[in-house]
A = this chain, B = another copy of it.
Amino acid sequence: MINQYINENKDRFVNELLDMLRIPSVSADPKFKKDVLGTAEFVKQRLIDAGADNVELVETAGYPVVYGEKMVDPSLPTVIVYGHYDVQPADPYELWNSPPFEPVIKDGKIYARGACDDKGQMYMHVKAFETMMRTGTLACNVKFMIEGEEEVGSANLATFVKENKDRLKGDVILISDTGMLGNDTPSITTGLRGMSYVEVEVTGPNRDLHSGLYGGAVANPINILCQMIASMHDENNHITIPGFYDNVDELSQEERAEMARAPFDLEKYKKALDLKDVHGESGYVTMERNSIRPTLDVNGIWGGYTGEGAKTVIPSKAFAKISMRLVPHQTSEEITKKFKKHFESIAPASVRVVVRPHHGGEPVVTPTDSVAYQAASKAYEETFGVKPIPVRSGGSIPIVSMFKSELGLDSVLMGFGLDTDAIHSPNEHFGVFNYMKGIETIPLFYKHFAEMSK
């Protein structure tokens, strides 16, 4: 009955998603403010249409949180669905095969910024909810909490949660903002990396200078910034910030052996990225480097003349955006503090530096023995025909640890995307297969969660 409803409404489910993808809800860039708010309005309306109660846009210091709920029976467990309606910036635009905010379906995949992260995966829950409502199969109480600032660090969500603890009483947080190993090897994410994100500014002379008249005699802030960044990895690609690894949770050989059983083909991996070789921390394999090990990556750098042709200038300033992915037992506050102290300490007297913390998030490991995980595992097994593999992801969903600390709730990360979906990249996409599988699998989670909670 559920499947029949889903099949009959498949085209509409897809078209509604395309409509939402047409709204460029880039939270990082103020010029899209109208569109971000428009997307919140869109989600609110769809929740109302689906039959949710008390639907509203809850104002925050930033973008509003879309809240809605359906309380069926106080004796039933309550699922709190989290997702986000904002998306990453789409640049560089020129690398998209079709405009990022004009979704197209090609070879069964929906191409658009946010198709997977997270509009597509978030909207699966709205449509699964609609399905359960229309078919009278809603097995749990449900509360929706869809935010608009995930891509900029969920700065105001913690406040929202603190101020709405009663409204957010429940039994589990359900999130689809992660991926699976493959369409034939479903997996459930059981760990996430945390993050420290900083912007650094290096100032040399008080104005741009002629590189002939001053070159060699004053500090060039670009050269200095490069030296400072380079010095933060040693020859084994260990991060050199003092104390950086102090609290890192080292996995046992058993745990690493367990991880190694997940299917992975290094040659395929390199081929897909057009790499002659991978690059990372000595002593760890690729799947460990991008999941259980912390990192330091420059996400953006700029300074001096970047236009056409040649300009012989020593710029006054150089800038970089640097993020560090954190693993369990590291904290963003600790690492941001250690980065700042170190960065300031290695700056030569010939420059001045400023470190501006952007936002942080804490790493998490979610239990696999919980009722919620078991219910999710069962649901995947029924729709995919195989038991999902638990995996640690390298990504970050900063708010997962916040839900634990503020609400005392664990999260279950039911992702349906693929690593190849190019989230945060040009040509982001999401399989229609994955979208529909999500809508099928979610009601089964509710069913099993209700039964197993009895």
Contacts and interface: CB of A to CB of B under 8 A. Distances in A.
A297 B315 CA distance: 10
Contacts of A153: 310
A273 interface: yes
A24 interface: no
A300 B293 contact: no
Nearest to A31: B308
A214 B312 contact: no
A348 B233 CA distance: 14
A290 B28 contact: no
B280 A297 contact: no
A113 to B, nearest CB: 12
A156 interface: no
Contacts of A387: none
A126 B227 CA distance: 47
A231 interface: yes
Chief secondary structure at chain A's binding surface:
loop
Contacts of A423: 210, 213
A220 to B, nearest CB: 5
Interface string A69-93: 0000000000000000000110110
Given A225-B226, A295-B216, A348 B394 contact: no
Q: Residue among A205, A207, A223, A325 with the most chain B CB within 10 A?
A: A223
A300 B304 contact: yes
Nearest to A285: B217
Interface in A317-349: 318-321, 323, 325, 348-349
A280 to B, nearest CB: 5
Given A297-B220, A299-B312, A305-B299, A210 B395 contact: yes
Interface of A: 27-30, 88-89, 91-92, 95, 151-153, 179, 193, 195, 197, 199, 204-220, 222-227, 229-231, 233, 273-281, 286-287, 289-290, 293-315, 318-321, 323, 325, 348-352, 358-359, 393-396, 419, 422-427
